[in-house]
Structure 1
Amino acid sequence: MAVTDDASPREDGWLARTALKFTAWAERWFPDAFVFVGLAVAIVALAALLNGAPPLVVAKSFGDGFWSLVLFTMQLAVMMIGGYVLAVAPPVERGIEWLASIPRTGRGAVVFIGAVAMLVSMLNWAMSLIFGALLARACARRTDIHMDYRAAGAAAYLGVGATWAFGIGSAAAQFQANPTGLPASILNVTGIIPLTQTIFLWQSLLTGALFFIMSIAIAWWSVPSRGSTLRAQDMGVDVSLDARDLDPPSRPGEWLEYSPILTIALVALGGMWLVQEFATRGLIGGISNLNTYNFIFIMMGLLLHWRPRSFLAAVQKSVPSVGGVLVQFPFYGGIAAILTNATNAAGVSVTDQMAHAFASLATQSTYTIVMGLYSIILGLFIPAGGARWILAASHVMQAANDLKVHLGWAVQAFNAVTMSNLINPFFMLPLLGVLRLKPRDIVGYTFLQFLWHVPIGLFLFWLFAHTLTYMPPVMP
């Protein structure tokens, strides 16, 4: 694929023109992320009322479920904080500046940002948001290339929008490999499904690689020409590098904050625990535990910052990026409770109606397509993959057992066909906080990705389902 020099004249291709039209529409009509979740609450509540649930029951379900995801919210917040802290550690930051010097054109920079974000998401999807955003800012500081900041922001989001579910941070795959995190209602249906039967299947690895290539190609062809480009400076965004120098200690009591002694002690203690954890559970079993996963990134961040004061400064700067999650996630807990607990006189909930429709439509051949569409629709109301899996796993996996569909592939199909992330602004918030943009600035480009990912993704999961055979659940 030939590289187009920034200085050479080039007309916008049809993908670039389409992305610009979507962006123009989004800038005028796309709501703020909180409005999005507020609308989701209203729609789900209305669906429950139409299903016959009394208003007081709907209200009680909403209030009772508001705090139901507190533990997962905390885990999610710590994951984002850990990803941010690690991404802004001085050695990693120097690496980002070096990476930003590699692209030779603005279009090349957008594609490069997308590729790096997707690769990082295979290790930590939260880190990919921060790492991708910081890489986009670093590229935007360059004066020798002409990079569209909107397209770069959308590319930085591709890790969460396209490939995260194929990596070790895949929420549903981790839940299924770690039975202590599963409710009995799900575990009795699915049993234990190791990561070797989900993210490490060759079908999953190949599908992830194809998603990567497709996302890169769309990003390449949707970058606008120089005449249509909006740089960060054109959008009034200051992308200058934040000062990292620490103020010297002002009193003797602060000396430990500036000394690596505590860092060495804490990391050594944490390292010994990790050695025992992996020796007991194995590498795959260890990283399947979300708490262990977060622990690793916090310890790595602490070590690379070296001094506690630097580590704490990074933690403080990470807080704005998780504010949207802390405020909005309880509302998603309320949504989940309305869907499952607000029942009519016959004891039927909205989720029961959806499950019945799902079971009546799916066959062994069409299972992944029907479930993929179900997951996409559900993702518009409950964006977190883990929460969505807890809500839907019991009925989608019972259907997989009944239809003799490979259980590990059912997990991957449900979790990876979550293209709704590309249009639901919830997980954009940490990235946009770093970029200092609004969802409407990048959603035109992510929606273009969505339009390609849905049909191709559904086809790939349908195709590879025919290469796998059903295995009964393995109980702990």
Structure 2
Amino acid sequence: MLTRMADRFSKLVERYLPDAFVIAVLMTLFVFVAGFFMKPSEPVELFKSFGDGFWVYLAFTMQMVLLLMTGMALASVPSVQRILEKLSSKAKTANQAYVLTFLVSSAAYYINWGLAVVVGAIIAREVGKRNQGAHFPLLVAAAYAPTALYTAGLSSSIGLTVATKGHFLEEAAGVIPTSETIFHPGTIAILLALVVTMPIFIVLMAPKKGIISYVPPKTSKQEAEQQEILKTPAGKLERTPFLGIITGLIGLIYVIFEFVNGRDLDLNIINITFLSLGLILHKSLVQYANAFKEAGSAISPIILQFPFYAGIIAVLGSSGVAESIINGMTSIASKDTFDIFTYWTAGLVNILAPSGGGQWALQGPLQVPAGLHLGVDPAITAMAVGWGDAWTNLIQPFWALPILSVVGLHIRHIMGYCALLAIWVGIVTTVLMFFVY
């Protein structure tokens, strides 16, 4: 039954779902219309907030871009790719292919969601090569599905933001250590439950006919390096591993020094760690620069669309639309159900504003005081927002763009499967959240 449902739903989505950038523009228009209804006497304010909001998250955008690019560059290290290729050979059947792809991608998402973009794409591609009986769009959906888990991982944008000294809600919530957010027993319990049940759900969706196997792209082989350049002093300098190793070690020494002095994980520490590891593991600075260049082309849709969603966040805030959604949900919540309503609210808001950090900037100032009024720990509020943000990433195409660029598929090829997974994730997380937080 689930296979038939997934097949029909996938075909429906393929027919009617437009490009992700079109969705971003349509959502921009939607929040403007909603804003006009909320504040019909102040239409100019909406245009101003959109224009101002376009650049408000510029620094955060750069952090996110570096998080993705350093993770993707690290994943492209030949030794890392060989490990992934060896792992992919372990899957002997289609069902094993789906499960292996999900689990490997989940491990990568836990470490760093920027790293997971390429790890997921590579493992899906390599597993697809070896399992022609596996449905490749579902393999890619399995690689992307762990995006619903990232808020419990080491690169959780909300978890790391509230752990960073000087964050914008420090006066109300304080600096919240990761032991109370991403390493909280409740967070770990939800993570494990989803890691166990999601691959089972994916296997049950697998089509029995109409299989679309992986087809390698047609590319012409070109010599990557010009030997005559290697003979020059400049060519040798560009391709020596020594400079990358020394520079990477400087970065790692800084990270160790910061941890010794009590610093917690935050976005900047994650970025410099992966940057340093990439410099050390790549064979030369030129190889690392080329990996960065490839990563840049894969995330160009995010760079294009992020300012639009930043503008949407600003309009949601200035028009009162977000406040109405959040207050409407939390007004009927009690201390025991506040985290669940916060989770649902965050899932809804994330569809319009798919950015964990940006969403926290929008929701945090409203949710934290409301939670404190009911006696809810700000750490729990932060994780509820984080889980909601990650949950509807499954049906918001924005963060799927890099992995789709790598494997050569369109969002409509995987979104039908992701939407059904989102239903399951929502049920499991809602039930568990009532007991574990």
User: TM-score band (shorter)?
Assistant: over 0.9
Question: How far is the alpha carbon of 1:249 from its aligned partner?
Answer: 5.0
User: Which has more helix, going by share of residues?
Assistant: 2
The equivalent of 2:213 in structure 1 is 231
The equivalent of 1:401 in structure 2 is 372
The equivalent of 1:339 in structure 2 is 316
1:92 equivalenced with 2:80 (yes/no): yes
Q: What SS class does the counterpart of residue 200 from structure 1 fall into? A: coil
Question: How far is the alpha carbon of 1:424 from its aligned partner?
Answer: 0.4
- CA distances 1:340-360 after superposition (whole Å, capped 9, x unpaired): 224xxxxxx223323432332
1:253 equivalenced with 2:234 (yes/no): yes
The equivalent of 1:68 in structure 2 is 56
Matches of 2:221 and 2:314, distance apart in 1: 42
Matches of 1:118 and 1:129, distance apart in 2: 11
The equivalent of 1:423 in structure 2 is 395
For structure 2, the residue ranges without an aligned partner over 5 or more in a row are none
The equivalent of 1:219 in structure 2 is 202
Is the 1:121–1:159 Cα contact (8 Å) retained in structure 2?
Answer: yes
Matches of 1:219 and 1:70, distance apart in 2: 37
Matches of 1:289 and 1:241, distance apart in 2: 42
For structure 1, the residue ranges without an aligned partner over 5 or more in a row are 1-13, 343-348, 466-476
1:314 equivalenced with 2:291 (yes/no): yes
Of 142, 147, 150, 1:164 maps to: 150
The equivalent of 1:18 in structure 2 is 5
1:441 equivalenced with 2:413 (yes/no): yes
Matches of 1:63 and 1:398, distance apart in 2: 28
Of 100, 112, 134, 1:124 maps to: 112
Alignment: residue pair count = 433
The equivalent of 2:428 in structure 1 is 456
Of 49, 52, 66, 2:36 maps to: 49
Which amino acid counterpart does residue 180 of structure 2 have in structure 1? Answer: Q
1:173 equivalenced with 2:154 (yes/no): no
Question: How far is the alpha carbon of 1:84 from its aligned partner?
Answer: 1.1
Is the 1:125–1:159 Cα contact (8 Å) retained in structure 2?
Answer: no
The equivalent of 2:25 in structure 1 is 38
Greater shift after overlay, 165-174 or 434-443?
Answer: 165-174
Matches within 5 A, 1:258-273: 258-273=239-254
Which amino acid counterpart does residue 149 of structure 2 have in structure 1? Answer: T
Greater shift after overlay, 321-330 or 399-408?
Answer: 399-408
Question: How far is the alpha carbon of 1:140 from its aligned partner?
Answer: 1.9
In 2 relative to 1, CA 84–249 (structure 1 residues): closer, same or farther, beyond 3 Å?
A: farther
Matches of 2:103 and 2:363, distance apart in 1: 31
RMSD: 1.8
Matches of 1:22 and 1:424, distance apart in 2: 16
Which amino acid counterpart does residue 266 of structure 2 have in structure 1? Answer: N
Which amino acid counterpart does residue 316 of structure 1 have in structure 2? Answer: K
Which amino acid counterpart does residue 319 of structure 1 have in structure 2? Answer: G
Question: How far is the alpha carbon of 1:276 from its aligned partner?
Answer: 1.4
Is the 2:132–2:213 Cα contact (8 Å) retained in structure 1?
Answer: no
Is the 1:138–1:239 Cα contact (8 Å) retained in structure 2?
Answer: no
Q: What SS class does the counterpart of residue 261 from structure 2 fall into? A: helix
- CA distances 1:90-109 after superposition (whole Å, capped 9, x unpaired): 10011111011110112211
- CA distances 1:426-473 after superposition (whole Å, capped 9, x unpaired): 0000000001100000001111101111122111112223xxxxxxxx
1:386 equivalenced with 2:367 (yes/no): no
- CA distances 1:287-342 after superposition (whole Å, capped 9, x unpaired): x2211101111111111112112111111111111101111000111111111224
- CA distances 1:182-223 after superposition (whole Å, capped 9, x unpaired): 22xx22221121111111111111111001112111112111
In 2 relative to 1, CA 60–80 (structure 1 residues): closer, same or farther, beyond 3 Å?
A: same
Greater shift after overlay, 412-421 or 289-298?
Answer: 412-421
Is the 1:421–1:427 Cα contact (8 Å) retained in structure 2?
Answer: yes
Q: What SS class does the counterpart of residue 16 from structure 1 fall into? A: helix
1:109 equivalenced with 2:106 (yes/no): no
The equivalent of 1:295 in structure 2 is 272
The equivalent of 1:346 in structure 2 is none
Matches of 2:2 and 2:367, distance apart in 1: 36
In 2 relative to 1, CA 99–130 (structure 1 residues): closer, same or farther, beyond 3 Å?
A: same
